[in-house]
Every structure is written in structure tokens, then in C-alpha cells.
Amino acid sequence: AYGGTFRLIDSVHGKKSGLANAAVDLTQPDQIKDVWTPDTKMVWLETPTNPMLSVFDIKAISDLVHELGGIVVVDNTFATPYLQQPLSLGADVVVHSATKYLGGHSDVVGGFVATNHEALAEDLVYIQNAVGAVPSPFDCYLAMRGVKTLAVRMDRHCDNAQRIVALLQAHDAVSQVLYPGLPEHPGHDIASKQMKNFGGMVSFRLEGGQPAAEKLVTSTRIFTLAESLGAVESLIEHPGVMTHLSVAGSALEVPDDLVRISVGIESIDDLVSDLTQALDQLA
């Protein structure tokens, strides 16, 4: 899960408000039963996950959780509504960071929640009104502008990502490539079933460990070192010390040799050239 999500659930609502949570390997949905209690109300999941790009079967999980009497919330930020529609697969609520692919230009901060349950929708509207989570008119304008080009951008993100994956697979400095579009990815069959394409996020591990990761993310010229994702420009980051530092030492800890890239829509030849020169410096 995204580090900020874990921090919100575990620290803000957990340690400060008494909300209990448990981490479960959702590649094995039956493990939900092992931690389910009479007080359990919700299963929260990402698919593909950030940053490991694991893939979970939304329909299978939703069917099981509904049998147990709970609801399913899917963070669909990585996939976007263009590539995956969790509500049609049985999820009760879908959330997005509108800052990412929906906005698409690194110039708006916002979130998006959708549900096909009328009672849940009424509760969400009440909370929004009470808390004041209302974006400015200009933020709404920027988000709507981004949505207009979502489809064409996502097609380009996916195409470019597949070229980057091919480069990474062929480079000696890379020990493992994590991308749902690869046939050898453990979740490839599920992703093929519930996604239109495999997305623009790519993660990989390096032979040189954490020092190699730290060097790589500061050696690119077109890929910008930044924590965000989903914009027209390509970004690169080291999750273990950036986006996922808050999950260090927990069940959600990520490898220290992991690098995550958000592949943008620039010229793919430029992106390949830039990443190649950075990887070559690790040899």
C-alpha cells in the first residue's frame, strides 16, 4: 500500500483513534478469513500496488468480503478508470489521487471517491460537507482539463512503459523487473482479465543494492527525481527512502534496492537513451 495510506490508517486513525488494522497478502484472498473479526468492516486494497505492482483479483476479494459482511475499497490510482473499473468488478468504493493520472500535469492536488451504493454516497457527502474537503473552482478546472486527455495519455503511458520494461530486462544492472504486463509476473493473468492495459508504472530492483538505487535516481536527465507519478513528464524515485519510508520495519516494507518510475509521454527514444546512460553508470 502507499505509504501515506498506511500512515493514515495505522497512525492517524489507528494509534490516535483506536482503529485496528491488519496486513494481508491478498494474492491469497482466503487469508482475509484468518484476520477477520466480528468488528471488521472493510478491506482496503490497491491493484496494481504501489510500488511493488502486485495484482489482486478484485472480483474474488469482493465476493469473499461481502460474504463476511464487509465492504471493499479499491485505490485505483495506478490503473485509472480508463484501464480498470473496480465498481463493475464488485468493489463498493473506488478512490483515486486526482493529483496523479486524472489531473495528469503535476499542477493540481485532489482526491476522488466514487461508489454505486446510495447509502454510502450519502454518508460521504455528509462527511465532505462537515469536514470541508472541497476543492477550489480552479483545482476542479485543472482536474477536468486533465480528464479530457486521459485516454490518449494512458495509451501513450502504456506504450512507453512497455519499451522501458524491455530495456530494463536486457540490462545487466537490473536484477528484477516488476510489471504486470510481463507474462512471468505472478498477477499477469488477473491483470489481463480485469485491466484494459498494464499501465505506465514500472518498478525494478538493482544488482548493486541500495547504493546503486541511490546513484541511479540522481543520474537521469529526463526522468525527474520526485515522489509523485502519473503526469506527462517521467519521474523516478527510491521508494524505500521516499514514498514508503513510513512503512519501514512494517509488514509493508519495500526492498532497499527498489526503484520506481512513472513513465511519461515524452519521446520514447529520449527516455530509453536517458535511462540507459544512467544504468550504464552502475556497471
Residue 204 has which C-alpha cell?
525494478
**Percent of the chain surpassing pLDDT 70:** 98
**pLDDT of 174 strictly over 90:** yes
At the fourth CATH level, which superfamily is domain 150-280? Aspartate Aminotransferase, domain 1 (3.90.1150.10)
- Give residue 52's pLDDT band: very low, low, confident or very high (50, 70, 90): very high
Residue 107 has which C-alpha cell?
499542477
**Percent of the chain surpassing pLDDT 90:** 86
Q: How many CB atoms lie within 10 A of CB 113?
A: 16
Q: How many CB atoms lie within 10 A of CB 270?
A: 12
pTM of the model: 0.94
3-state helix, strand, coil in the chain (%, to 5): 45, 15, 40
Give the residue range(s) of CATH 3.90.1150.10 domains in the chain.
150-280
Most confident of 20-24, 143-147, 242-246: 143-147
Bridge partners (DSSP) listed for residue 75? 46, 95
Q: Mean pLDDT across the stretch 95-106?
A: 98
pLDDT of 2 reads 78
- Give residue 184's pLDDT band: very low, low, confident or very high (50, 70, 90): very high
Instruction: Please give the CATH number for the structural domain made up of 3-148.
Output: 3.40.640.10
**pLDDT of 249 strictly over 80:** no
**pLDDT of 4 strictly over 90:** no
CB 236 within 8 A of CB 259: yes
pLDDT of 246 reads 64
**pLDDT of 3 strictly over 80:** no
**pLDDT of 107 strictly over 70:** yes
Instruction: Give the Cα separation of 74 and 2 in Å (integer).
Output: 12
Q: What is the DSSP string of 232-258?
A: SS-EEE-GGGTTTGGGTTSTT---TTE
Give the residue range(s) of CATH 3.40.640.10 domains in the chain.
3-148
pLDDT tens readout for residues 74-90? 999 999 999 999 999 99
Residue 71 has which C-alpha cell?
465492504
Instruction: Give the Cα separation of 75 and 94 in Å (integer).
Output: 6
For residue 95, give the 3-state DSSP assignment: strand
Q: Mean pLDDT across the stretch 91-99?
A: 98
pLDDT tens readout for residues 126-170? 999 999 888 999 999 999 999 999 999 999 999 999 999 999 999
